[in-house]
């Protein structure tokens, strides 16, 4: 986690400059020509030429997170100054500037100096130069993010006094911060330099304070013509790395040195200097760990080792018991799995039997229905026969007596019957074979 060190006077400065007049909503590139006014972006903007020209002092531009995007013309700027008089106290904040030649070109093309420019909480991506300055007094570039800048993230030329604090620089192609001729009193503090080609370039013999920064990989490998102060005196402060361990600041963190340096006295600073070149030396490079070894209390240490061994043995026994329980559980699971397989087989067989039984029952139901139908038909037929027989009996009963006599006697002879009652007659065949009938009273 990175930690920023932000000078107190900058906080007060930002508070007072935030007291502004009514905002002016901005929807496109324009000339900023009204002094002491707040300009607020209402939408993203695509710049086809130089976009915002400062022609007034004491103004604030708040992009509110909106983008200013170039159209591929790398010779134009998102912000620039052009006024035939002294200017100052401009603030640019919360902007996302991308794919354009220059982000903020703080050179007054009118030839007069600029007094005080604050550039805070902006994001610069895929630019030639993100911030360029010249003929200026008082630069504050803080808490900005720079990514993939091809020439220079911040170019400081002819600037008297400035703070470059708490910024994140990543993947700089050439020079991240260039401190050039005519500049003096520039403080580079609490910045992150990640995967860059050259971190801080010094091209003039002036006062430059460079401390409590994080330099990763080759970020400090620049060609230096002059020297800077790469550390401050040891003092209380929030360091850029390991602030939870040490509360003092001094020099900078260097990934190719600080992570492996010795710190015998555990003060949070490497015992050896970090030599960039003969003119640029960090006398208090930040350490990431301590090399301090306390005196050995061997008796106490032996007891601690024995206790640790006993505890290890107990844990091993508990571990073995746990393994046994797990094995038993696995065996139970395996047994239950086999039982489940048998139950599944029996269930499938039972399902087959039930299905066959259902089919048989259905077939029997069909047969019962057929039999029931046949029975009804037969019953109807028997009834019809019975009715016809009754009609026949009635017919014969009331037929002539001679007809009934001959019919009954013929039936008796055919069936070897000697006596028979029917059709209202009683008939008998005597020994001579004569059939005699008489009425039944």
Residue 35 has a pLDDT of 92
Spatial CB neighbours of 333, under 8 Å, sequence gap ≥ 6? none
Spell out a b/e string for 37-56, using b for 16 or more CB atoms within 10 Å of the CB, else e: bbbebeeebebeebbbbbbb
Residue 226 has a pLDDT of 82
Report for 136-145, 177-186, 254-263, 317-326: range of highest mean pLDDT: 136-145
Of the three residues 207, 229, 251, the one that is the final residue of a domain is: 229
Residue 331 has a pLDDT of 87
Structural domain range at position 418: 399-439
Residue 16 has a pLDDT of 46
Contact call for residues 143 and 167 (beta carbons, < 8 A): yes
> Has residue 13 got a pLDDT over 60?
no
Nearest Cα residue to 140 out of 10, 9, 4, 5:
10
Give the separation between CA 25 and CA 38, rounded to whole angstroms.
9
Query: Phi/psi at 137 (nearest 5 deg)?
Result: -125, 115
Of the three residues 229, 261, 286, the one that is the final residue of a domain is: 229
**Structure tokens, 35:** 């002094």
Residue 421 has a pLDDT of 85
Give the helix ranges, DSSP H, for 221-297: none
Domain-embedded: residue 408: yes
> Has residue 18 got a pLDDT over 50?
no
pLDDT band at 218 (very low <50, low <70, confident <90, very high): low
What does the pLDDT look like over 122-142, one tens digit per residue?
999 999 999 999 899 999 999
> Has residue 220 got a pLDDT over 80?
no
Segment 318-335 shows an average pLDDT of 87
pLDDT band at 36 (very low <50, low <70, confident <90, very high): very high
> Has residue 14 got a pLDDT over 60?
no
Domain-embedded: residue 167: yes
Residue 193 has a pLDDT of 95
What does the pLDDT look like over 304-318, one tens digit per residue?
778 888 888 888 888
> Has residue 335 got a pLDDT over 50?
yes
Give the separation between CA 392 and CA 306, rounded to whole angstroms.
125
Domain-embedded: residue 345: no
DSSP per residue, 98-157: EEEEEEEEEEETTS--EEEEEEES-EEEEEEEEEEE-SEEEEEEES-EEES-SSEEEEE-
CA angle 348, 350, 353 (to 5 degrees): 115
Domain-embedded: residue 88: yes
What does the pLDDT look like over 86-99, one tens digit per residue?
889 999 999 999 99
Nearest Cα residue to 134 out of 152, 150, 149:
152
Give the separation between CA 213 and CA 190, rounded to whole angstroms.
5
Residue 360 has a pLDDT of 85
In terms of pLDDT, which residue wins out, 294 or 427? 427
Residue 311 has a pLDDT of 85
Work out the percent of the chain whose per-residue pLDDT is above 90.
46
Q: E strands along 271-374, which residues?
A: 274-277, 280-282
Of the three residues 200, 229, 258, the one that is the final residue of a domain is: 229
Domain-embedded: residue 298: no
Residue 410 has a pLDDT of 85
Work out the percent of the chain whose per-residue pLDDT is above 70.
89
Helices (H), strands (E): how many in the chain? 3, 31
Report for 70-74, 172-176, 292-296: range of highest mean pLDDT: 172-176
Domain-embedded: residue 133: yes
- Determine how many CB atoms are found less than 10 A away from the CB of residue 149: 26
Domains in the chain, number: 2
Segment 171-177 shows an average pLDDT of 92
Domain-embedded: residue 243: no
Residue 42 has a pLDDT of 97
Domain-embedded: residue 244: no
Residue 141 has a pLDDT of 97
Element (H, E) at 14: helix 8-17
Per the prediction, the chain carries an average pLDDT of: 86
In terms of pLDDT, which residue wins out, 108 or 290? 108
Burial class (CB in 10 A: 0-12, 13-18, 19+), 248: middle
Least confident of 41-55, 185-199, 204-218: 204-218
> Has residue 290 got a pLDDT over 60?
yes
CA–centroid distance for 13 within its chain: 39
pLDDT band at 231 (very low <50, low <70, confident <90, very high): very high
What does the pLDDT look like over 250-282, one tens digit per residue?
999 999 999 999 999 999 999 999 998 888 899
Residue 11 has a pLDDT of 47
Segment 319-341 shows an average pLDDT of 86
């Amino acid at each position: 986690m990175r930690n920023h060190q932000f000078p107190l006077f900058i906080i007060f400065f930002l508070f007072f400059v935030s007291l502004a007049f009514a905002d002016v909503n901005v929807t496109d590139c324009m000339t900023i020509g009204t002094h002491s006014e707040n300009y607020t972006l209402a939408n993203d903007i695509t710049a086809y030429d130089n976009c915002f020209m400062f022609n007034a002092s004491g103004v604030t531009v708040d992009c509110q997170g909106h983008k200013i995007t170039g159209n591929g013309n790398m010779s134009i700027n998102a912000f620039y100054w052009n006024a035939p008089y002294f200017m100052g106290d401009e603030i640019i904040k919360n902007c996302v500037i991308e794919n354009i030649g220059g982000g903020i070109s703080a050179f007054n093309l009118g030839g007069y100096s600029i007094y005080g420019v604050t550039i805070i909480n902006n994001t610069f991506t895929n630019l030639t130069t993100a911030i360029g300055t010249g003929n200026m007094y008082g630069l504050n570039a803080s808490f900005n993010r720079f990514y993939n800048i091809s020439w220079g993230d911040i170019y400081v030329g002819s600037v008297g006094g400035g703070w470059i604090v708490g910024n994140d620089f990543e993947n700089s192609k050439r020079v991240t911060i260039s401190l050039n001729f005519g500049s003096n009193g520039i403080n580079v503090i609490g910045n992150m330099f990640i995967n860059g080609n050259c971190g801080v370039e010094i091209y003039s013999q002036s006062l430059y304070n460079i401390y409590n920064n994080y330099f990763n990989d080759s970020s400090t490998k620049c060609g230096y013509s002059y020297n800077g102060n790469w550390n401050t005196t040891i003092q209380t402060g929030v360091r850029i790395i390991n602030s939870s361990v040490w509360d003092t600041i001094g020099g900078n963190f260097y990934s190719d040195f600080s992570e492996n340096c010795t710190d015998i006295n555990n003060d949070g600073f490497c015992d050896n200097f970090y030599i960039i070149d003969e003119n640029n030396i960090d006398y208090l490079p930040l350490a990431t760990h301590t090399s301090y070894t306390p005196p050995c209390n061997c008796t106490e240490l032996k007891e601690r080792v024995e206790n640790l061994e006993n505890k290890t043995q107990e844990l091993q026994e508990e571990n073995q018991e746990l393994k046994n329980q797990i094995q038993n559980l696995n065996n139970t699971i395996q047994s239950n799995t086999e039982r489940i397989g048998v139950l599944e087989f029996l269930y499938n067989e039972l399902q087959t039997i039930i299905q066959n039984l259902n089919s048989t029952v259905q077939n029997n139901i069909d047969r019962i229905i057929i039999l029931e139908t046949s029975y009804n038909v037969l019953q109807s037929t028997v009834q019809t026969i019975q009715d016809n027989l009754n009609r026949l009996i009635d017919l014969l009963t009331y037929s002539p007596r001679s007809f009934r006599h001959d019919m009954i006697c013929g039936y008796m002879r055919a069936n070897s019957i000697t006596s028979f009652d029917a059709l209202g007659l009683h008939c008998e065949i005597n020994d001579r074979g004569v059939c005699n009938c008489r009425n039944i009273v």
